[in-house]
Structure 1
Protein backbone atom coordinates (compact mmCIF):
# COMPACT_ATOMS: atom_id res chain seq x y z
CA UNK A 1 0.00 0.00 0.00
CA UNK A 2 1.26 3.46 -0.92
CA UNK A 3 0.48 6.29 1.49
CA UNK A 4 0.90 10.05 1.23
CA UNK A 5 -0.05 12.78 3.66
CA UNK A 6 -0.27 16.53 3.69
CA UNK A 7 -0.50 18.95 6.59
CA UNK A 8 -2.72 22.03 6.91
CA UNK A 9 -2.83 24.68 9.66
CA UNK A 10 -5.43 27.01 11.11
CA UNK A 11 -6.13 28.96 14.29
CA UNK A 12 -9.58 28.99 15.87
CA UNK A 13 -11.47 29.39 19.11
CA UNK A 14 -14.00 27.09 20.74
CA UNK A 15 -15.44 26.00 24.03
CA UNK A 16 -16.76 22.65 25.09
CA UNK A 17 -19.97 23.83 26.75
CA UNK A 18 -21.16 20.27 27.41
CA UNK A 19 -18.40 19.84 30.01
CA UNK A 20 -18.56 20.82 33.65
CA UNK A 21 -18.02 24.57 34.23
CA UNK A 22 -14.92 23.79 36.29
CA UNK A 23 -13.27 21.98 33.33
CA UNK A 24 -10.68 24.18 31.60
CA UNK A 25 -12.10 23.36 28.16
CA UNK A 26 -15.51 24.69 29.20
CA UNK A 27 -14.04 28.19 29.02
CA UNK A 28 -13.55 30.00 25.72
CA UNK A 29 -10.07 29.27 24.40
CA UNK A 30 -8.21 28.73 21.15
CA UNK A 31 -5.70 26.48 19.46
CA UNK A 32 -3.31 26.47 16.55
CA UNK A 33 -4.66 23.37 14.83
CA UNK A 34 -2.81 21.01 12.53
CA UNK A 35 -4.81 18.78 10.18
CA UNK A 36 -3.07 15.89 8.41
CA UNK A 37 -4.91 14.07 5.65
CA UNK A 38 -3.58 10.67 4.57
CA UNK A 39 -4.40 9.07 1.22
CA UNK A 40 -3.64 5.45 0.35
CA UNK A 41 -3.70 3.33 -2.79
CA UNK A 42 -2.56 -0.16 -3.66
CA UNK A 43 -1.40 1.06 -7.08
CA UNK A 44 0.00 4.35 -8.31
CA UNK A 45 -1.76 6.38 -10.99
CA UNK A 46 -0.38 7.07 -14.48
CA UNK A 47 1.86 9.81 -13.05
CA UNK A 48 3.29 7.42 -10.43
CA UNK A 49 1.41 9.18 -7.61
CA UNK A 50 -1.22 8.11 -5.12
CA UNK A 51 -2.54 11.58 -5.97
CA UNK A 52 -0.76 14.80 -6.95
CA UNK A 53 -0.36 16.97 -3.82
CA UNK A 54 -1.50 19.94 -5.85
CA UNK A 55 -4.93 18.31 -6.13
CA UNK A 56 -5.35 18.75 -2.35
CA UNK A 57 -5.52 22.56 -2.68
CA UNK A 58 -9.32 22.53 -2.21
CA UNK A 59 -8.71 21.32 1.36
CA UNK A 60 -6.36 24.25 1.99
CA UNK A 61 -8.99 26.62 0.62
CA UNK A 62 -11.71 25.01 2.75
CA UNK A 63 -9.58 25.23 5.90
CA UNK A 64 -8.55 28.83 5.19
CA UNK A 65 -12.01 30.08 4.24
CA UNK A 66 -14.17 28.14 6.70
CA UNK A 67 -12.06 27.47 9.80
CA UNK A 68 -9.11 29.84 10.08
CA UNK A 69 -9.61 32.55 12.71
CA UNK A 70 -13.20 31.45 13.30
CA UNK A 71 -15.18 30.20 16.28
CA UNK A 72 -15.63 26.45 15.72
CA UNK A 73 -18.90 26.30 17.65
CA UNK A 74 -20.43 28.49 14.93
CA UNK A 75 -19.32 26.02 12.22
CA UNK A 76 -19.84 22.50 13.59
CA UNK A 77 -23.14 20.91 14.64
CA UNK A 78 -21.34 18.65 17.13
CA UNK A 79 -19.03 19.46 20.06
CA UNK A 80 -15.86 20.99 18.62
CA UNK A 81 -13.49 18.32 19.90
CA UNK A 82 -10.42 17.25 17.95
CA UNK A 83 -12.09 13.88 17.44
CA UNK A 84 -15.13 15.47 15.81
CA UNK A 85 -12.93 17.73 13.70
CA UNK A 86 -10.99 14.70 12.45
CA UNK A 87 -14.24 12.99 11.41
CA UNK A 88 -15.54 16.17 9.80
CA UNK A 89 -12.41 16.62 7.69
CA UNK A 90 -12.32 12.90 6.85
CA UNK A 91 -15.89 13.01 5.52
CA UNK A 92 -15.18 16.19 3.55
CA UNK A 93 -12.04 14.68 1.99
CA UNK A 94 -13.50 11.23 1.28
CA UNK A 95 -16.17 12.72 -0.98
CA UNK A 96 -13.48 14.43 -3.06
CA UNK A 97 -10.67 11.88 -2.91
CA UNK A 98 -11.70 8.23 -2.56
CA UNK A 99 -8.12 7.39 -1.54
CA UNK A 100 -8.62 9.22 1.78
CA UNK A 101 -7.53 6.79 4.50
CA UNK A 102 -7.46 8.94 7.63
CA UNK A 103 -7.37 12.42 9.08
CA UNK A 104 -5.50 13.48 12.19
CA UNK A 105 -6.05 16.72 14.11
CA UNK A 106 -3.73 18.29 16.66
CA UNK A 107 -4.72 21.00 19.12
CA UNK A 108 -1.37 21.13 20.91
CA UNK A 109 2.13 19.87 20.10
CA UNK A 110 1.54 16.83 22.33
CA UNK A 111 -2.02 15.81 21.41
CA UNK A 112 -3.56 14.17 18.33
CA UNK A 113 -6.96 12.76 17.46
CA UNK A 114 -7.43 10.55 14.43
CA UNK A 115 -10.38 9.30 12.43
CA UNK A 116 -9.66 6.15 10.42
CA UNK A 117 -12.60 3.91 9.48
Structure 2
Protein backbone atom coordinates (compact mmCIF):
# COMPACT_ATOMS: atom_id res chain seq x y z
CA UNK A 1 0.00 0.00 0.00
CA UNK A 2 1.29 3.43 -0.96
CA UNK A 3 0.31 6.39 1.22
CA UNK A 4 0.82 10.11 0.80
CA UNK A 5 -0.09 13.01 3.06
CA UNK A 6 -0.42 16.74 2.59
CA UNK A 7 -0.70 19.34 5.32
CA UNK A 8 -2.84 22.50 5.34
CA UNK A 9 -3.01 25.33 7.91
CA UNK A 10 -5.61 27.83 9.02
CA UNK A 11 -6.51 29.96 12.03
CA UNK A 12 -10.03 30.19 13.41
CA UNK A 13 -12.06 30.77 16.54
CA UNK A 14 -14.74 28.58 18.05
CA UNK A 15 -16.70 27.95 21.21
CA UNK A 16 -18.05 24.65 22.50
CA UNK A 17 -21.02 26.28 24.23
CA UNK A 18 -22.65 22.93 25.02
CA UNK A 19 -19.91 22.20 27.59
CA UNK A 20 -20.28 23.24 31.26
CA UNK A 21 -19.71 26.94 31.92
CA UNK A 22 -16.43 26.33 33.77
CA UNK A 23 -14.88 24.29 30.94
CA UNK A 24 -12.14 26.23 29.13
CA UNK A 25 -13.47 25.16 25.72
CA UNK A 26 -16.88 26.65 26.53
CA UNK A 27 -15.25 30.08 26.31
CA UNK A 28 -14.61 31.79 22.99
CA UNK A 29 -11.07 30.89 21.89
CA UNK A 30 -9.02 30.16 18.79
CA UNK A 31 -6.47 27.76 17.37
CA UNK A 32 -3.90 27.54 14.62
CA UNK A 33 -5.24 24.39 12.99
CA UNK A 34 -3.39 21.81 10.96
CA UNK A 35 -5.31 19.52 8.61
CA UNK A 36 -3.55 16.50 7.13
CA UNK A 37 -5.20 14.56 4.33
CA UNK A 38 -3.93 11.04 3.65
CA UNK A 39 -4.45 9.20 0.37
CA UNK A 40 -3.70 5.52 -0.25
CA UNK A 41 -3.51 3.20 -3.23
CA UNK A 42 -2.43 -0.37 -3.89
CA UNK A 43 -0.72 0.73 -7.09
CA UNK A 44 0.69 3.96 -8.46
CA UNK A 45 -0.84 5.74 -11.42
CA UNK A 46 0.92 6.08 -14.78
CA UNK A 47 2.87 9.09 -13.46
CA UNK A 48 4.18 7.11 -10.47
CA UNK A 49 1.89 8.86 -7.95
CA UNK A 50 -0.90 7.88 -5.61
CA UNK A 51 -2.20 11.26 -6.75
CA UNK A 52 -0.38 14.41 -7.82
CA UNK A 53 -0.14 16.74 -4.80
CA UNK A 54 -1.17 19.60 -7.08
CA UNK A 55 -4.58 17.93 -7.47
CA UNK A 56 -5.22 18.71 -3.79
CA UNK A 57 -5.17 22.48 -4.32
CA UNK A 58 -9.00 22.68 -4.14
CA UNK A 59 -8.74 21.67 -0.48
CA UNK A 60 -6.44 24.65 0.18
CA UNK A 61 -8.90 26.95 -1.58
CA UNK A 62 -11.83 25.48 0.39
CA UNK A 63 -10.00 25.88 3.70
CA UNK A 64 -8.84 29.41 2.89
CA UNK A 65 -12.28 30.56 1.68
CA UNK A 66 -14.46 28.78 4.25
CA UNK A 67 -12.45 28.25 7.44
CA UNK A 68 -9.46 30.58 7.67
CA UNK A 69 -10.00 33.50 10.08
CA UNK A 70 -13.64 32.50 10.61
CA UNK A 71 -15.72 31.59 13.65
CA UNK A 72 -16.25 27.86 13.20
CA UNK A 73 -19.61 27.90 15.00
CA UNK A 74 -20.87 29.90 12.00
CA UNK A 75 -19.36 27.46 9.49
CA UNK A 76 -20.19 23.97 10.78
CA UNK A 77 -23.60 22.45 11.56
CA UNK A 78 -22.10 20.27 14.32
CA UNK A 79 -20.00 21.18 17.37
CA UNK A 80 -16.65 22.41 16.10
CA UNK A 81 -14.56 19.72 17.77
CA UNK A 82 -11.42 18.47 16.06
CA UNK A 83 -13.13 15.08 15.70
CA UNK A 84 -16.12 16.57 13.84
CA UNK A 85 -13.82 18.67 11.70
CA UNK A 86 -11.76 15.59 10.74
CA UNK A 87 -14.96 13.85 9.60
CA UNK A 88 -16.12 16.97 7.74
CA UNK A 89 -12.85 17.32 5.84
CA UNK A 90 -12.74 13.57 5.16
CA UNK A 91 -16.22 13.63 3.58
CA UNK A 92 -15.37 16.72 1.53
CA UNK A 93 -12.13 15.17 0.27
CA UNK A 94 -13.52 11.67 -0.33
CA UNK A 95 -16.21 13.15 -2.60
CA UNK A 96 -13.40 14.49 -4.81
CA UNK A 97 -10.59 11.96 -4.51
CA UNK A 98 -11.43 8.27 -4.02
CA UNK A 99 -7.92 7.55 -2.70
CA UNK A 100 -8.57 9.52 0.52
CA UNK A 101 -8.06 7.17 3.46
CA UNK A 102 -7.92 9.50 6.49
CA UNK A 103 -7.93 13.07 7.69
CA UNK A 104 -6.22 14.35 10.83
CA UNK A 105 -6.88 17.67 12.54
CA UNK A 106 -4.66 19.34 15.14
CA UNK A 107 -5.72 22.21 17.37
CA UNK A 108 -2.47 22.37 19.33
CA UNK A 109 1.02 20.95 18.82
CA UNK A 110 0.19 18.12 21.24
CA UNK A 111 -3.35 17.16 20.17
CA UNK A 112 -4.65 15.35 17.10
CA UNK A 113 -8.00 13.92 16.04
CA UNK A 114 -8.27 11.45 13.17
CA UNK A 115 -11.14 10.19 11.06
CA UNK A 116 -10.41 6.95 9.23
CA UNK A 117 -13.34 4.75 8.19
TM-score range, shorter chain: over 0.9
**What is the aligned length?**
117
Structure 1 spans left out of the alignment, 5+ residues: none
Match of 1:106 in 2: 106
In the aligned structure 1, how far is the partner of 2:24 from the partner of 2:107? 14
In the aligned structure 1, how far is the partner of 2:21 from the partner of 2:116? 31
TM-score, normalized by length of structure 1? Answer: 1.00
In the aligned structure 2, how far is the partner of 1:11 from the partner of 1:100? 24
Match of 1:93 in 2: 93
Match of 1:81 in 2: 81
Q: 1:92: how far off?
A: 0.1
Q: 1:53: how far off?
A: 0.2
Runs of 4+ in structure 1 deviating by more than 2 angstroms, as ranges, are none
Query: What do you get for the CA RMSD once the two structures are aligned?
Result: 0.2
Match of 2:41 in 1: 41
Structure 2 spans left out of the alignment, 5+ residues: none
Q: Secondary structure at the match of 2:95?
A: helix
In the aligned structure 1, how far is the partner of 2:18 from the partner of 2:40? 35
Match of 2:5 in 1: 5
Match of 2:15 in 1: 15
TM-score, normalized by length of structure 2? Answer: 1.00
Q: 1:102: how far off?
A: 0.1
In the aligned structure 1, how far is the partner of 2:97 from the partner of 2:18? 33
Q: 1:37: how far off?
A: 0.1
Give a deviation string over 1:63-96, Cα, whole Å, max 9, x none: 0000000000000000000000000000000000
